[in-house]
Amino acid sequence: MPAETHQRGRPACAQSVLELLVTLLEDSFEVRADSTLASLGVDNECLLALWDAVCEEFAERALGPEIEPDAIEASMTLEAAARIMARLLEAGRRAD
């Protein structure tokens, strides 16, 4: 049996990442796919926490790919951020 840190996460498409992000943010805000991250109160620190949560759900346990600091910005829509996160996760899966 592989170690817990070597278990692969489930595949992530932009829609499934978007659904997770909405779930994470909907308690505090009325969330729509075209909401900007900034309008949802997401700052740089929160962006990293969201990325960690996405990696926890979809990446190889908690060991997701590193995110470039300028890959996702608060001015982006939630949908755009989900597409980028899904792309980064898929690139990380192919690199394994």
Q: Which residues contact 18 (CB under 8 A, 6 or more apart)?
A: 33, 78, 79, 82
CA atoms lying within 13 Å on the CB side of residue 23: 9
What does the pLDDT profile of the chain (96 residues) look like in tens digits?
Answer: 444 444 455 678 999 999 999 999 987 778 898 999 999 999 888 998 999 899 889 876 545 567 776 789 999 999 999 999 999 888 877 665
Q: How many CB atoms lie within 10 A of CB 59?
A: 22
Which residue ranges make up each domain of the chain? 8-95
pLDDT of residue 10: 66
pLDDT of residue 63: 53
| Calpha distance 73→61 (Å, rounded) | 25
Closest CA to 35 of 77, 3, 5: 77
